């Protein structure tokens, strides 16, 4: 009878440490790599090199690591050792202390070369937490002191690798092969999470749709996101693939995760927009509320010609009277300039130059047909204006009153009824009976560009034939008209 093989017998563990010019993989670079290969209780090889980081090493980093600019001046570039390093690490378990740091830097270096790098990653900080939960500190200095490990040259790659290997073998001997192996297997199956989060963070997260929030120190809200699978999406933030400085900063600052479940994707999207605009998380930029939402209105002047004006107060019950939604006056004027140039309309009547006696500037260039001088027939000019602006006309609300959009999550049994009026999300209910007691009279809800676009897609576009699969429209419950046109005004 043969004994069952274990990961400790069959896997090669590449215990790796790097030294760098700083702590951010987006712009800092690696100056040294050290690796010791361990399999079945024995060291089976090692690999080490200094690297030219192609940037200056600061005096602080020189003093911390002992690696000077002179030492790396003639060292190889990362691209020169990239193939060899990839060969050395192929098929191994990538082991590092605070592995997100080392793994993130290695991936960043390969990404600069247009290459991908991935490996099974084992973090010895998390291994220490798993095996020694009674202790609070798990940095390398704490491990050396606590377990009586031999002193090494700290902040040099092979010195830190020696300390990591000493802990690895000490923990195996003290805890026994079975417990040591189980801890490793569990960690290799779990997504890596930032060190300041509780180890079981991902276990509590729901597998359905909703919104999640990342909080930092002193409960500062860092980031709001949405997903159809909260647990999966949050885990993807912790994959170790740091694509941006922002991702690194969020990971380093993160202390707590909160979430709100929804019954479907539309509810999650609307809640995400609402929370980004009202809670103003530090790292969300896209979807921030526009400070000066602007549209364009058309009205006749004394001579009967249609003239454009910028509208800053959007009245949701009059959306059909507006053309376009813009985040700033400049964006609206840029759109007007494009319409003028394409359709040879009058600069003065479009409000692009002051109203003065005589022809507009474009008339002198032959780009206006003379409406500014009364030379173009009023009906002809107005027809051209209506055609030019037709594609920008906002969609009027197609129902007589509010509606309830029903979303249901079959997996959890949850149901949400999203109450929407004039393309504004005004409430979320969970039972159809609640609709009978719902009163929207006097509620103040701000008309919002992002929600308008989102609800247009959800209610109008999803029923259209996309050329592939015809998407199922959501179930809509029509509610009684409110009656007052100024209800739900911003």
Give me the active site residues, please: 155
Rounded to an integer, what distance in angstroms lies between the CA atom of residue 41 and that of residue 29?
Answer: 33
Rounded to an integer, what distance in angstroms lies between the CA atom of residue 25 and that of residue 111?
Answer: 11
Encode burial over 190-206: b for 16+ CB neighbours within 10 A, e otherwise. bbbbbbebeeebbeebb
Q: Which 3 state secondary structure label does DSSP give 406?
A: strand
What is the torsional sign of CA 70, 74, 75, 78? positive
Report helix angle 245-253 to 230-237, nearest 10: 110
Strands 210-215 and 221-227: antiparallel
Rounded to an integer, what distance in angstroms lies between the CA atom of residue 443 and that of residue 232?
Answer: 36
Counting Cα atoms < 13 Å in the Cβ hemisphere of 471 gives 12
Rounded to an integer, what distance in angstroms lies between the CA atom of residue 51 and that of residue 23?
Answer: 16
* DSSP line for 312-372: -S--GGGGGGEEEEESSHHHHHHHHHHHHHHHT--TTTTTSS---SS--HHHHTT-S-SGG
For residue 65, count CB atoms less than 10 angstroms from its CB and return exposed for 0-12, middle for 13-18, buried for 19 or more. buried
The residue behind tokens 């830190």 is: 160
Strands 13-20 and 93-96: parallel
Rounded to an integer, what distance in angstroms lies between the CA atom of residue 339 and that of residue 389?
Answer: 8
For residue 389, count CB atoms less than 10 angstroms from its CB and return exposed for 0-12, middle for 13-18, buried for 19 or more. buried
Longest dimension (CA), the chain: 104
The answer to whether the beta carbons of residues 487 and 443 sit under 8 Å apart is: yes
């Amino acid at each position: 009878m043969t004994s069952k093989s274990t990961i400790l017998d069959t896997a090669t563990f590449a215990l790796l440490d790097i030294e760098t010019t700083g702590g951010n993989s987006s712009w800092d670079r690696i100056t040294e790599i050290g690796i010791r290969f361990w399999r079945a209780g024995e060291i089976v090889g090692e690999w080490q090199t200094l690297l030219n980081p192609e940037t200056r090493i600061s005096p602080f980093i020189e003093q911390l690591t002992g690696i000077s600019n002179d030492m790396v001046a003639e060292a190889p570039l990362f691209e020169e050792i990239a193939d060899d390093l990839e060969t050395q690490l192929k098929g191994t378990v990538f082991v590092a202390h605070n592995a997100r740091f080392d793994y993130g830097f290695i991936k960043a270096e390969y990404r600069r070369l247009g290459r991908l790098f991935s490996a099974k990653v084992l973090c010895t900080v998390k291994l220490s937490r798993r095996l020694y939960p009674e202790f609070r500190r798990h940095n390398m200095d704490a491990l050396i002191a606590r377990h009586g490990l031999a002193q090494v040259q700290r902040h040099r790659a092979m010195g830190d690798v020696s300390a990591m290997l000493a802990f690895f073998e000490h923990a195996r001997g003290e805890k026994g092969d079975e417990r040591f192996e189980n801890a490793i297997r569990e960690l290799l199956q779990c997504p890596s999470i930032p060190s300041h989060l509780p180890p079981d963070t991902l276990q509590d997260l729901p597998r359905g749709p909703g919104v999640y929030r990342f909080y930092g120190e002193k409960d500062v809200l860092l980031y709001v996101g949405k997903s159809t699978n909260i647990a999966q999406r949050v885990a993807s933030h912790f994959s170790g693939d740091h694509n941006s400085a922002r991702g690194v900063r969020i990971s380093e600052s993160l202390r707590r995760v909160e979430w709100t479940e929804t019954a479907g994707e539309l509810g999650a999207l609307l809640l995400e927009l609402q929370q980004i605009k009202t809670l103003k998380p530090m790292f969300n930029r896209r979807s921030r509320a526009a400070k000066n939402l602007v549209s364009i209105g058309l009205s006749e002047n004394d001579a009967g010609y249609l003239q454009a004006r910028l509208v800053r107060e959007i009245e949701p019950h009059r959306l059909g009277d507006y053309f376009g939604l813009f985040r700033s006056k400049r964006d609206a004027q840029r759109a007007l300039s494009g319409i003028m140039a394409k359709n040879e309309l009058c600069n003065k009547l479009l409000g692009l130059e002051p109203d003065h006696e005589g022809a507009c500037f474009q008339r002198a260039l032959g780009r206006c047909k003379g409406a500014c001088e009364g030379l173009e027939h009023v009906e002809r000019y107005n027809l051209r204006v209506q055609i030019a602006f037709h594609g920008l006309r906002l969609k009027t609300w197609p129902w007589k009153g509010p509606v309830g959009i029903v979303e249901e999550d079959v997996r959890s049994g949850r149901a949400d009824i999203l109450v929407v009026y004039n393309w504004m999300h005004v409430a979320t209910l969970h039972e159809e009976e609640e609709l009978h007691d719902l009163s929207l009279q006097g509620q103040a809800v701000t008309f919002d560009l992002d929600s308008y676009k989102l609800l247009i897609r959800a209610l109008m576009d999803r029923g259209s034939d996309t050329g592939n699969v015809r998407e199922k429209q959501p179930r809509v419950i029509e509610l009684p008209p409110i009656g007052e046109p100024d209800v739900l005004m911003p």
